[in-house]
Chain A
Amino acid sequence: MRYLPLTADDRHQMLAVIGAESIDALFVDVPASAVLPGPVDLPRVAGEIEVERELSALAARNRAAGSGPFFCGAGAYRHHVPATVDHIIQRSEFLTSYTPYQPEIAQGTLQVLFEFQTQVAALTGMEVANASLYDGSTAAAEAVMMASRVTRRGHAILSGGVHPHYVRTIETLAHVAGVTTERLAPAVDAEDAVIARITPQTACVVVQTPNIFGTATDVSKIAQAAHAAGALLIVVTTEAVSYGLLKSPGDMGADIAVAEGQSIGNALNFGGPYVGLFACREKLVRQAPGRLCGETVDADGRRGFVLTLSTREQHIRRDKATSNICTNSGLCALAFSIHMSLLGEQGLRRLALLNHQQALRTRDALASVPGVEILTRRFFNEFAVRLPVPAAEAVEALARRGVLAGVPYSRLAPEAGLEDVLLVCATETVTDDDINAFRLALTEVLS
């Protein structure tokens, strides 16, 4: 087996050094009833050629986004990632290192995390950010738990614009942690509706901008209402590139900003691994979940970085920890940080404008198709349309014509009764030809 360096001779000699008669003698503590006599019923060792053949065949059965016009968003976005990013994250020293618990020999990872935290804080307009969480949805759930700890209150209000899968992720965790949740009805311009629901028992209000229907909202008024009641405002963003064009959550008064960071530096990967961004006001940081990297000096007074404020975490606080999280999304955060550094402020702003521009063009093209109603007024790079037929059927028909046309809202929330709503996203990777092909195919499907 190519990954196992020991030879039969090695094994023999090593057993002699140990003083064991056989390998079985080393497994002596396993109850006899549980010892398998031989290999389980699965295929045997396979060479690279064979494995590559099998997996390539499976991959070939999937329709890659890049193989034709592609307009899916709703929490995962197809952007161009510079070749440099993937080269760097495959360097041995990043790919095959562990969590930087020994800072003297992990300054590479730690400095990247410090830069990442600074980038995320700048993008979200918040004072501090952590070293990342699993993804945007789990970051949102952690934020609700944190708000409950900070305010010592047990009720969260979720706007109807929050991604339905995020809502279910939050509800799943909140339910068992004793935090009640109130989910408002889905609506294209849903965010402001939360204001009327805030009470003195509210721990937090969760809003999303741009929301699941694409609507970008100035949430400043919601922030004021929340703060007046002693509640926190959590702002969710699923498309991190939007930070390049839109006002940041911090500018609008958010106490905690969470986001899916996949858009920057990371491929679609059929849903994971992604990278959750988590930022908050500095005074709340001791209640924050996840790893934090901080600056310090070494024994010679040279600047260096370490993981810090660890007493919040499970390996020290155990059952009193702020979260059970024991990892971040290190390599995805590295990819994010490299891509962000390559873009810089100029590049990010331009990238964001290009996304917005292609989305406007797509909207205009679809608006010209008879029977299509544009629902979202102000958006970044995705918007909702109403079709005269069920969106799921239209999407299947368009897929047969080579166009991946977007995400039916009903796929996210079948119970909502919005079968005719399609969520359409256009990024910088969408060409004018793609838009035209979408328009023509949709016209055909609807006629």
Chain B
Amino acid sequence: MRFTKDHEWVVVEDGVATVGITAYAAEQLGDVVFVETPDVGKTVAQGEGFAVVESVKAASDVYAPVSGEVVETNAGLGDSPETVNADPEQGGWFARVRLSDPAQVEALMDRAAYDAYLGTL
């Protein structure tokens, strides 16, 4: 699992990245009430806003941690946005992206680096 400074995580399998927000981010946001995921088929560029996560009092953009084409989104979040709080780094995933530049993943932080980064916040 790799991480960004904007608190997204990425897990890559067969050239497809599963993307979500970290436990730290979910904790900071508070109770998540709605997730707006991108349309399947959309091409996203690294760093671009591609999803929105809403709590009662805030709406936050989620930035694409990698570039590629969205191949699947987490339909379960529609009825159960609370999964993002309950299981942020697994069941609460947002979307799957077919990587257009796999090298981008290598440049992201690993768990130790991310934890160290959190320590600086």
Contact = CB atoms under 8 A, between A and B. Distances in A.
Contacts of B58: 311, 316
A352 B106 CA distance: 70
Nearest to B53: A311
B34 A286 contact: yes
B56 interface: yes
A316 B59 contact: yes
A165 interface: no
Nearest to A312: B59
Interface in A292-334: 310-311, 316-317, 320
Contacts of B55: 311
Interface in B34-48: 34, 36
Contacts of B59: 311, 316-317, 320
Contacts of A316: 57-59
Contacts of A311: 33-34, 54-59
Contacts of A320: 59
Nearest to A315: B57
A388 to B, nearest CB: 59
B56 A310 contact: yes
A286 B36 CA distance: 10
Contacts of A317: 59
A110 to B, nearest CB: 16
Contacts of A310: 56-57
Contacts of B54: 311
A310 B57 CA distance: 7
Contacts of A286: 34, 36
B57 to A, nearest CB: 6
Contacts of B56: 310-311
A145 B41 CA distance: 25
A286 B33 CA distance: 12
Interface string B9-50: 000000000000000000000000110100000000000000
B109 to A, nearest CB: 28
A317 B60 CA distance: 9
A320 B33 CA distance: 18
A353 to B, nearest CB: 44
Interface string B54-73: 11111100000000000000
A311 B59 CA distance: 6
Contacts of B36: 286
Contacts of B57: 310-311, 316
A76 B22 CA distance: 54
A286 B59 CA distance: 12
Of residues B54, B55, B58, which shows the largest number of chain A Cβ atoms within 10 Å of its Cβ? B54
Interface in B56-108: 56-59
A364 B58 CA distance: 59
A335 B58 CA distance: 33
Nearest to A318: B59
A317 B58 CA distance: 7
A311 B53 CA distance: 10
Given A286-B36, A311-B56, A317-B59, 14 more contacts: A286-B34, A310-B56, A310-B57, A311-B33, A311-B34, A311-B54, A311-B55, A311-B57, A311-B58, A311-B59, A316-B57, A316-B58, A316-B59, A320-B59
Interface of A: 286, 310-311, 316-317, 320
17 contacts: A286-B34, A286-B36, A310-B56, A310-B57, A311-B33, A311-B34, A311-B54, A311-B55, A311-B56, A311-B57, A311-B58, A311-B59, A316-B57, A316-B58, A316-B59, A317-B59, A320-B59
Closest 5 CB pairs of A and B: A311-B59, A311-B54, A317-B59, A316-B59, A316-B58
Interface of B: 33-34, 36, 54-59
